[in-house]
A and B are shown apart, each in its own frame.
Chain A
Amino acid sequence: EAQVTQNPRYLITVTGKKLTVTCSQNMNHEYMSWYRQDPGLGLRQIYYSMNVEVTDKGDVPEGYKVSRKEKRNFPLILESPSPNQTSLYFCASSSRLAVRSGANVLTFGAGSRLTVL
C-alpha cells in the first residue's frame, strides 16, 4: 500500500531533550515536506526537500532541522525542544512528475502529536 509513515504517533517530552520524528514513504517520491498544525493557524510548512541532499526552509523553520540522506526518509529533528513546539506534525510527499503535470497532490502521514513540557 502506498503510504507515508510517521513515528512516533504520540510523544511527550521535556524541554531541551533532543528528539527525532521519522518519516518514510514507499512511493519513490522526490518531494517531501514537514508541516505543523496548530488550532486556528492551519498547516504551516517547516521544511521541505526536493530530492536527496536538497532541503530548504519553509515558513516556520526555527528550532527544527531536517536531513534527506535517502530518498524514502525525511526525519524531523528538534535539537532542544521548547513548549511552543507542542503541536501536531505532518509529513507529506509528492512526485516531481505530478508537480510538473500540475497535479501536486500531497500524500500525508497520519500525524505525530508532540507535547513538550
Chain B
Amino acid sequence: AQSVTQPDIHITVSEGASLELRCNYSYGATPYLFWYVQSPGQGLQLLLKYFSGDTLVQGIKGFEAEFKRSQSSFNLRKPSVHWSDAAEYFCAVGASNDYKLSFGAGTTVTVRA
C-alpha cells in the first residue's frame, strides 16, 4: 500500500526567505505525486503534480518540486515566500489508473513579517 510522510508538522519562515517542505513516499511502482495547498477556511487546491518525465516540476504560485526516486522524495520549494503563502500543505501519492490518493499529515507554514 502507498503511504506518505511529511516530517515537518510546522514551519515558520520570514517573508522573502526561501521555503522547502519535505515529502517522502512509499510505493512499489512508479508513483504519481501531488502537492496540494489549503488556505484557511478553504478547500484543497492543486499546486503541482508529477507523473513522468522531467523530475523538476513547476507549479502555480511560484512553487516547484523535485522528484528523487533514489530518496523516495518529492520536496516542495519556493525561492521567496509571500505572506499569502501561509497555509497548510499536503503531499499525496497515487498510482496509474487508480483513483485512490494517499495524503500525508500536512505541514503548516507560518510566514512572519
Are A42 and B103 also in contact (CB < 8 A) when A102-B51, A104-B94, A111-B43 are? yes
Q: Which residue in B42, B44, B49, B105 is a CB contact (below 8 Å) of A103? A: B49
Chain A interface size range = 20 to 34
Interface-side segment among A11-19, A43-51, A61-69, A78-86? A43-51
Contact B32 A102, beta carbon cutoff 8 Å: yes
Within the complex, the shortest CB–CB distance from A63 to chain B, in Å, comes to: 20
Query: Could you tell me how many residues of chain B have their Cβ less than 8 Å away from some Cβ of chain A?
Result: 27
Q: For chain B, what secondary structure do more than half of its interface residues adopt (helix, strand, loop), or is it mixed?
A: loop
Q: Are A45 and B46 within 8 A (Cβ)?
A: no
Q: Which residue on chain B has the smallest CB distance to residue A94?
A: B99
Contact (Cβ within 8 A) B46 A104: no
Interface residues of B (CB under 8 A from A): 4, 6, 9, 32, 34, 36, 41-46, 49, 51-52, 90, 94, 96-101, 103-106
Further 13 A-B residue pairs, CB within 8 A, beyond A92-B44, A100-B97, A110-B42: A4-B43, A41-B105, A42-B6, A42-B105, A43-B90, A90-B43, A102-B51, A102-B52, A103-B49, A105-B46, A106-B44, A106-B46, A111-B41
